[in-house]
C-alpha cells in the first residue's frame, strides 16, 4: 500500500516537473541556494567550534605556563586559514564570505590577547611571520618553545595596504590545539599540535568540561610516558585539574564528566593518543581527593600549586 502511494506521488511529481522546463530550472536554482545556505551554516558552526577551542585551550595553556617547565610555546589566539585548510564543502563559502584564498586569512582573534591589542583584525591577510612567507595556519603554531618573552612580527595586507605589526606573544604550555571536523569523541597528538575532534567538542557540553579534556591531555604530555597506566591516569587527573582551576574553569564537573565519558564512550580517547584513560574506582577516589584539595585552596585563596611528587 505504501509503495503504491509513494509511486503515485513520484509519478505526479514527474508530471508536474515535466510540465514546463522553467519549473525544473527553478528547482535547480533552489537546490543551489539551499546548498549554499547549508555550506554557510556548516562553515559558521565550524568557526564557532574553532573559536571555542582556541578560547578554552589558550586560557588553559597561558594560566598553566608556570607548571609546564620548559615545555612552552607562544599562544597567539589567532584563528586563521588558507583555502586548502578548509573542508572542500565550505571552500566556496569561505572565499565568498571571508575572502579565504591561498594566503593565510585571519578569521577571528581572541580579544585581550596581544595580537588583537596591536590591531590585527579578522579579514587581514598574513603574508609573513617573522620575515618568512607563510602559506598555512600551522606556521603560526610552528614556533620553537621559548624561555621567556617572544616578539612576533607579522606582515599583513589589509584593503590593499601592507602593514607591519609587532606583538609580544605570551608563552603557554606546549601544545596548541587544532580542530578536526571528524565527529570522533577523541583527541590526539599530531606533530606539534593537539588535534581535538568535533565530536569531542560536542560531547564536552560546557567550557568547563572541554577544559577538563584539554588539561588532561596536556597533563599526559607534561608527565611523559614513564608512569604505569593507573598512575598515569591519576597523575594526569591531578595535574590536569590544577590546570583547569588555574584557568578559572570549574573543576567540580570533573567526576560526573569522567563517568559520562567512560560510560558512553568506553573506547574514546584510547591508544591512538598513546594513552588509555580507564576510569577505575581508585581513579575516582583520587579524583575526589584532588577536587577537595583544589576547592580548599580556592576557598582559602591559596596559590594553586600542585604538590610535586
Ligand atoms: Zn588519560
Ligand 1 centroid to residue 172 C-alpha, Å: 21
Residues 154 and 52 in one domain: yes
Ligand 1 centroid to residue 276 C-alpha, Å: 6
Residue 16: inside a domain: no
Per-residue exposure over 121-133, b if at least 16 CB sit within 10 Å of its own CB, e if not? eeebbbbbbeeee
Residue 20: inside a domain: no
Residue 22: inside a domain: no
Ligand 1 centroid to residue 287 C-alpha, Å: 12
Instruction: Extract the C-alpha cell encoding 142.
Output: 610552528
Residues 169 and 43 in one domain: yes
Ligand 1 centroid to residue 187 C-alpha, Å: 11
Ligand 1 centroid to residue 108 C-alpha, Å: 31
Series of mean pLDDT values for 10-residue runs along the chain (309 residues): 38 46 74 92 95 97 91 88 94 95 95 90 93 84 58 90 90 90 86 90 96 93 75 89 98 92 66 57 88 97 89
pLDDT for 10 equals 40
Q: Which helix (H) or strand (E) holds 3?
A: helix 2-19
CATH number at residue 85: 2.30.42.10
The C-alpha atoms of residue 28 and residue 283 are separated, in whole angstroms, by 57
Per-residue exposure over 15-49, b if at least 16 CB sit within 10 Å of its own CB, e if not? eeeeeeeeeeeeeeeeeeeeeeeebbeebeebbeb
Ligand 1 centroid to residue 68 C-alpha, Å: 17
Ligand 1 centroid to residue 212 C-alpha, Å: 11
Residues 96 and 185 in one domain: no
Residues 241 and 269 in one domain: yes
CB neighbour class for 7 (10 Å; exposed up to 12, middle 13-18, buried from 19): exposed
Residues 159 and 188 in one domain: no
Ligand 1 centroid to residue 296 C-alpha, Å: 24
pLDDT for 184 equals 85
Residues 52 and 168 in one domain: yes
Q: Give me the domain span that covers residue 82.
A: 37-173
Domain termination residue (choose one: 112, 142, 173):
173
Residues 139 and 44 in one domain: yes
pLDDT for 277 equals 66
Provide φ and ψ at 303, rounded to 5°: -60, 145
Number of compact structural domains in the chain: 2
Residue 14: inside a domain: no
Residues 291 and 182 in one domain: yes
Domain termination residue (choose one: 130, 147, 173):
173
Residues 114 and 52 in one domain: yes
Amino acid at each position: 500500500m505504501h509503495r503504491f502511494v509513494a509511486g503515485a506521488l513520484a509519478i505526479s511529481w514527474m508530471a508536474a516537473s515535466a510540465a514546463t522546463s522553467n519549473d525544473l530550472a527553478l528547482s535547480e536554482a533552489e537546490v543551489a541556494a539551499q546548498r549554499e545556505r547549508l555550506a554557510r551554516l556548516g562553515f559558521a558552526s565550524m568557526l564557532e567550534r574553532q573559536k571555542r577551542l582556541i578560547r578554552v585551550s589558550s586560557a588553559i595553556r597561558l594560566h598553566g605556563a608556570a607548571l609546564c617547565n620548559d615545555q612552552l610555546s607562544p599562544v597567539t589566539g589567532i584563528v586563521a586559514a588558507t583555502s586548502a585548510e578548509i573542508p572542500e564543502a565550505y571552500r566556496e563559502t569561505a572565499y565568498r564570505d571571508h575572502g579565504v584564498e591561498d594566503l593565510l586569512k585571519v578569521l577571528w582573534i581572541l580579544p585581550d590577547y596581544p595580537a588583537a591589542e596591536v590591531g590585527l583584525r579578522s579579514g587581514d591577510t598574513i603574508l609573513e611571520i617573522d620575515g618568512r612567507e607563510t602559506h598555512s595556519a600551522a606556521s603560526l603554531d610552528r614556533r620553537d618553545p621559548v624561555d621567556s618573552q617572544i616578539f612576533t612580527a607579522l606582515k599583513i595586507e589589509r584593503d590593499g595596504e601592507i602593514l607591519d605589526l609587532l606583538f609580544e606573544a605570551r608563552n603557554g604550555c606546549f601544545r596548541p590545539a587544532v580542530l578536526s571536523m571528524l565527529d570522533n569523541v577523541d583527541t590526539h597528538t599530531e606533530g606539534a599540535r593537539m588535534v581535538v575532534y568535533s565530536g569531542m567538542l560536542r560531547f564536552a557540553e560546557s567550557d568547563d568540561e572541554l577544559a577538563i579534556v584539554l588539561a588532561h591531555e596536556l597533563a599526559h604530555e607534561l608527565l611523559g610516558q614513564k608512569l604505569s597506566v593507573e598512575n598515569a591516569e591519576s597523575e594526569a587527573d591531578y595535574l590536569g585539574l590544577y590546570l583547569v582551576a588555574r584557568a578559572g574553569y570549574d573543576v567540580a564537573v570533573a567526576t560526573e564528566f569522567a563517568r559520562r565519558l567512560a560510560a558512553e564512550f568506553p573506547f574514546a580517547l584510547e591508544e591512538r593518543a598513546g594513552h588509555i584513560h580507564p576510569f577505575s574506582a581508585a581513579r575516582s577516589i583520587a579524583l575526589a581527593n584532588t577536587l577537595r584539595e583544589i576547592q580548599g585552596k580556592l576557598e582559602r585563596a591559596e596559590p594553586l600549586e600542585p604538590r610535586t611528587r
